[in-house]
Structure 1
Amino acid sequence: MSEEMLSKVSDYLDSRVPLTQIAQGAEAVVFSTSTHPYLPLRESNKKFVIKYRPPKKYRHPSIDRALTKHRTLSESRLLAKLYLIPGLKVPQLIACDAYNGYIWLEFLGEFLPDDAGFSNLKNFLWMYADKDPYDAVVQETLSKVGEQIGLLHWNDYCHGDLTSSNIVLVREGGTWQPYLIDFGLGSTSSMVEDKGVDLYVLERAIVSTHSAFADVYKGWLMQGFSQVYQRHGEKGDKKLKEVLNRFQEVRMRGRKRSMIG
């Protein structure tokens, strides 16, 4: 990220607000800070996340402002709703400035030990691939990931960019608890097509980065996913069958596109 952008963000917040860039994507830049948006300005041991959507110079300024406002507000509203779903793990929304493209969130990484060596599912699986990919910890963690996705879909929400990088692992009670993050493309949707696409995107992410153990990993993920639906009896079984059938259709379309190029 350019010094100009960092200076712009720092000036907007307050030049005294400490900022550390932790990620950058196509739509947003993510920072960590020790300053709360509503409390007195001072550093603390607690961290927060600031997600900032910078202006896009290739768009007309008025269109860019409208899109930034809409996307920032939509993501904030979605996070606020998801946070209220029992059992679903997402970062807590703290503040939103939709007009300027800022979202303040709970910082999940503060719960990770310094020597963990990973903060998301992708890094977690890489670490265990060098040790024992069939470890019970991997199975338990992937089953929990599947359960989180199942809870998301059962409540008729979709992620839109469900990769292993957008699943953060937090140590809770001696086990790893997955949190779903980055809902910039998230939506409310009861369509099995959207849910099938979510599952396909995650499958492709697993295959591309952990191909040697992908089939085993996918099995554990789908085990946790299916359990959420199966808890709801016949209704759940019917919906699960619909989602899995559409998932297979999406997968077949994806393979055909790969073959054609």
Structure 2
Amino acid sequence: MTDLIVLQAKSYLPHIPLTVISQGAEAIVFETSVHPYCSKPSLRNQSKFIIKYRPPKPYRHPKIDASLTKSRTIGEAKFMALLARNGIPSPSLIAADFPHGIIWMEQLGGKLPNGEPSSLKNWLWYLERTNNASECVSEQVENICRQVGILIAHLHMSDMVHGDLTTSNIILEDGKPYLIDFGLSSYSSMAEDKAVDLYVMERAVLSTHSVYAEKYNFWILEGYLEAQRSSGDGKRSRNALVDTLRKLDDVRLRGRKRSMLG
């Protein structure tokens, strides 16, 4: 199936070298060395770029599928553009082909010493596998986790919700976290939606970094609180934060009940 999807992508991107780096339920992600508009790209002096491709879904009616692909690609591209406008660290949008479900963007991060991409998940795993406990909860790790919390807070203060906050969807570049993958993202001022975002992140940390999850989650939430409290938006910001934290407690309780009921 992957070979067929690659052939489909190549038909829309002729003469563009494509290397598959990940595949999910909605899209396949390629790496390429070609910029769509210039032979000598200046974007952070990059030589590699990312192409995200939403392939057709054979189980949907072709017209419905085409409409969904186009609208979701437009929605994701608009979300990325708004992130950039609001100064929220994320990949720069380079180009898009909405009817064919293609988004061309900046590639962030590099490789860890073990050759893995520098996502927050891979970085924490690398530390956990190659270092002692003190290194895994070092000042550097605390600083990164707090930065992640600050990043999420800035997202939420812009009334934007990621929808799939995990340590896989945060990339580290030069010690700074960036958000990626906005296929499930949306706009919302509701405390419930922001609380669910935070809860998804908590559960992701717990499931992938269970030994140190309590500290990681504490630091992430501390960063979140710090950014919200220092936003300069006064009473409105404080009330929004209180509402979000109250909803977060509710979401946690619902999650525990579901776990108990199986």
TM-score, normalization: structure 2? 0.91
- SS at structure 2 position matched to 1:83: helix
How far apart are the structure 2 equivalents of 1:22 and 1:113? Answer: 13
Residue 181 of structure 2 corresponds to which residue in structure 1? 182
Q: Is the 8 A contact 1:229 1:239 kept in 2?
A: no
Q: Which moved more, 1:193-202 or 1:2-11?
A: 2-11
How far apart are the structure 2 equivalents of 1:202 and 1:66? Answer: 31
Q: Is the 8 A contact 2:8 2:55 kept in 1?
A: no
How far apart are the structure 2 equivalents of 1:118 and 1:97? Answer: 26
Deviations 1:152-180 (A, max 9, x none): 00110000011111001111xxxx10000
Pair 1:95-2:58 in alignment: no
How far apart are the structure 2 equivalents of 1:228 and 1:235? Answer: 14
- Gaps spanning 5+ residues in structure 2: where? none
Q: What is the Cα deviation at residue 54 of structure 1? A: 0.2
Matches within 5 A, 1:51-200: 51-86=52-87, 88-109=88-109, 112=110, 115=113, 117-130=116-129, 131=131, 132-171=135-174, 176-200=175-199
How far apart are the structure 2 equivalents of 1:127 and 1:3? Answer: 31
Residue 37 of structure 1 corresponds to which residue in structure 2? 36
Q: Is the 8 A contact 2:112 2:118 kept in 1?
A: no
Deviations 1:178-233 (A, max 9, x none): 00000111011101111010001010100111111111111100111111110124
Q: Which amino acid aligns with 2:138?
A: D
- Aligned CA distance change for structure 1 residues 255 and 114 (closer, same or farther; 3 Å): closer
Q: Is the 8 A contact 1:22 1:30 kept in 2?
A: yes
Q: Which amino acid aligns with 1:185?
A: L
**Structure 1 runs, 4 residues or longer, greater than 3 Å off:** none
How far apart are the structure 2 equivalents of 1:178 and 1:74? Answer: 23
Deviations 1:128-160 (A, max 9, x none): 223222111100000000000000001100000
- SS at structure 1 position matched to 2:85: coil
TM-score, normalization: structure 1? 0.92
How far apart are the structure 1 equivalents of 2:250 and 2:169? Answer: 24
Q: Is the 8 A contact 1:29 1:52 kept in 2?
A: yes
- Aligned CA distance change for structure 1 residues 45 and 219 (closer, same or farther; 3 Å): closer
What root-mean-square deviation, in Å, do the aligned CA atoms of Structure 1 and Structure 2 show? 1.8
Residue 234 of structure 1 corresponds to which residue in structure 2? 235
How far apart are the structure 2 equivalents of 1:113 and 1:104? Answer: 21
How far apart are the structure 2 equivalents of 1:199 and 1:235? Answer: 20
Q: Which amino acid aligns with 2:13?
A: L
Pair 1:11-2:11 in alignment: yes
How far apart are the structure 2 equivalents of 1:24 and 1:36? Answer: 22
Q: What is the Cα deviation at residue 36 of structure 1? A: 1.3
- Aligned CA distance change for structure 1 residues 40 and 123 (closer, same or farther; 3 Å): closer
- Gaps spanning 5+ residues in structure 1: where? none
How far apart are the structure 2 equivalents of 1:139 and 1:80? Answer: 30
Residue 206 of structure 1 corresponds to which residue in structure 2? 205
- SS at structure 2 position matched to 1:17: coil
Q: Is the 8 A contact 1:69 1:101 kept in 2?
A: yes
Q: Is the 8 A contact 1:35 1:41 kept in 2?
A: no
How far apart are the structure 1 equivalents of 2:194 and 2:217? Answer: 16
Q: Is the 8 A contact 2:206 2:213 kept in 1?
A: yes
